[in-house]
Amino acid sequence: MKEVINFAAHKIRAAPSDQEFCVQSSESNGDVIHTGGTCTGHVRLTFFLPQALPPSSSPETELRSPDLYRRHQVCSITKPNGKSVIRLDAGCSLVPPPQVTFQVPSLFDVLSSTPQDKGAHPWYMLVEEEHPCFGFICKNIWSNFM
């Protein structure tokens, strides 16, 4: 399996307008992303994203640091042979059309999500590692949240 993208998402619904997604695992067809409530069989992961992200900056700021503000479009596509693939950005406009499409938070969105109000949910979580790990999320930490 090839890693396509890492992105921030909530494990729980952070706002009433958040959209639910699930990743359904299939031995023969690969992982498939569905909108919430439509997964059947083995669900590997459920996550939530806002239905619409607010504007993150002014156009001139984005020109100076485009990677900081880039919000990737992610889509799940089922090919005619039944295999599922994940595509990004321009790949989402290719044939066949995607079944599920969503936009993920930019690095700026993640950094600016530090809560100012009680009850707000940031796009990140600070975790103290007890064992060395060189990944974004270590297996021993992730297992505590599944």
Q: What pLDDT shows up at residue 36? A: 81
Q: What pLDDT shows up at residue 146? A: 47
Q: Flag whether 108 is in a domain.
A: yes
Q: Flag whether 29 is in a domain.
A: yes
Q: Flag whether 126 is in a domain.
A: no
Q: Flag whether 88 is in a domain.
A: yes
Looking at the structure of the chain, the number of domains it has is 1
Q: Flag whether 8 is in a domain.
A: yes
**Backbone angle region of 82, left / alpha / beta, with phi > 0 → left and psi within -120 to 50 → alpha:** left
Share of the chain above pLDDT 90, in %: 4
CA distance 105 to 109: 6
Q: Flag whether 142 is in a domain.
A: no
pTM: 0.71
CA distance 50 to 9: 9
DSSP state of 64: H
Q: Which helix (H) or strand (E) holds 75?
A: strand 73-78
Model confidence at 102: pLDDT above 80: yes
Q: What pLDDT shows up at residue 138? A: 60
Q: Flag whether 144 is in a domain.
A: no
Q: Flag whether 86 is in a domain.
A: yes
Q: Whole domain around residue 60: which residue ranges?
A: 1-113
Q: What is the mean pLDDT of the chain?
A: 77
